[in-house]
Chains A and B, each alone.
Chain A
Amino acid sequence: MIIQATQVIERREAFIDTDDEQLMLEYSSGEVQAFKQLYSRYEQSVYRFAFNGCNNEARASELFQEIWLRVIKARKSFKPSQPFKAWLFTIARNLLIDNYRSQSRTALDNRAGNDAYADPDTLPQDSFSSIPDTWSRAPLTPEQIACASEQNTILRDALQSLPLAQREAVMLKHIAGLSISEIAQMQGQGSQAVKSRLRYAMVKLRQNLKELS
């Protein structure tokens, strides 16, 4: 037992300096310690991304679990030529968009007959901003209040007040830590458009923080 524990510790230490792509390759070849190393690196950022994206702890937990399960299932299809971080947050973003769409359908059902809410698939990307606004104005649950600090709650509320594209750009830039070009590639926009979004998002976020605080 002692020998096995020692071997596990040695392997875990051996993966500390290994880059993300190599760790993913090691895990896809059967090394579970590599996955643990990857998980420890991105646990907080992925969970923050999910939590700030949906502003619901229960839903964030489901998204968080779904993101990592997809990573596990798709380990054989991972190409080391692409950055692991961008790949990971692409999965997270797609799941978050799916969550938005399912939530928007629920909202559309609740607001039947309102022409202001069309099918989200036909709307331009910036028009998604109107959908999360409905959630941001929703009252916080007791669990949210209990679990999150007041500052984090204010920050999430401020983020939720942003249009979807701007909020997504802010989250990918400051939570995921992606570069402008990676965000641009993920959103299908140019780098200047992403910078502009980020600038507008910061101005609006500052205003929201002042209002909320």
Chain B
Amino acid sequence: MKKNTLIDAHPDDEDIAQLITAQSVNVPDHLRQSILQNAALECEQDNNVKKIKAHRPVDAHPAATRGWTRGLGIAATFLIAAILTPMMLKSPESELDSYDTDSLTRADAEISQSAVSALQATDAEEMEQLAEVATEQSDIVAVDSDAITMSSRLTQSREIGRLTSGVEANKSLKADQTVDSQPQLSASPMTRENTFNSAPTLSYRESAEKWINEIKVLIVNGDTQKARDEYSLFEQRHPAEAKRFKPDFDRQAIDDPAPTEHRSSK
């Protein structure tokens, strides 16, 4: 009856609106508590996150980031170096450089070593040759000043030959086996003949008479071969004189007593 009275007494929209607005409901307490607890829990979680962020050192994250970045950079550098180093070692330029350096060093060592050995060999050979020459000329040097002059000239020719052989030895440095044999070749009889042939400045060859006397001395000393060589050269230089002077190499005789005189006069 009361409801009907209310509705009938106020049949306009405002009364119905008031009726709806005034509708009373009772929210269960457990719903209220549950909702408020949820709200408080979510809020507490937010506050905890804020506290953690607030207590975190300001530079912690950037420092960690920087450290990580630095470590990554170092690792990348090592990686790039590990990749590039073998490539650089295998590059044509580096091969050329290393080859040049090694070859030059090796060549220098070879040159110096071979030069020393060549000089030593040359000195030893020269000493032997000089000893031989001295032995050969010892008799003549003792009696004839021309022979002494010749031996000195021979010494000069030996010096020239030694220098020549030294140059040849330097030219053949790369051949290790020939280094030692080269001075011996340079000091061979060929070299000796060349020395005689290439010694036109010998004093006795300046005049025909001295040359004839030298040939006679060689014959007297029994050095027939040298006497023949000298005579053959003499024939080439002085063909007219050679027709008049015919030495007897076998008898070791001297047709012309002039050399004796010449020797005795000296």
Contact = CB atoms under 8 A, between A and B. Distances in A.
A30 B51 CA distance: 11
B177 interface: no
B16 A205 contact: yes
Nearest to B44: A32
B27 A44 contact: yes
Interface string A136-172: 0000000000011111101100010000000000100
Nearest to A159: B20
Interface residues of B, number: 31
B20 A175 contact: yes
Contacts of A73: 42
Contacts of A174: 17, 20-21
Contacts of A155: 19-20, 23
B201 interface: no
B207 interface: no
B16 A30 contact: no
A89 to B, nearest CB: 15
Given A30-B46, A39-B36, A65-B34, A170 B20 contact: yes
Contact of A206 (B11, B36, B43): B11
B38 interface: yes
B20 to A, nearest CB: 4
A32 B20 contact: no
B27 A213 contact: no
Contacts of A128: none
B47 interface: yes
Nearest to B19: A155
A64 B7 CA distance: 29
A72 B34 CA distance: 12
A64 B23 CA distance: 17
Interface in A12-32: 27, 29-32
Contacts of A147: 26
Residue of A27, A73, A213 ringed by the most chain B CB atoms within 10 A: A213
A210 B7 CA distance: 8
A interface, over-half SS? helix
Interface string B18-56: 011101111110011011101110111011001000000
B244 interface: no
Interface residues of A, number: 41
A193 interface: no
Given A44-B27, A48-B25, A155-B23, A68 B35 contact: yes
B23 A152 contact: yes
A148 B24 CA distance: 9
A30 B43 contact: yes
B4 interface: yes
Given A65-B35, A72-B42, A174-B17, A150 B3 contact: yes
Interface of A: 27, 29-32, 35-36, 39, 43-44, 47-48, 51-52, 61, 64-65, 68-69, 72-73, 75, 147-152, 154-155, 159, 170, 173-175, 202, 205-206, 209-210, 213
17 contacts: A27-B39, A27-B43, A29-B46, A30-B43, A30-B46, A32-B43, A36-B36, A39-B36, A43-B27, A43-B32, A65-B34, A68-B38, A72-B42, A150-B3, A173-B17, A210-B7, A213-B4
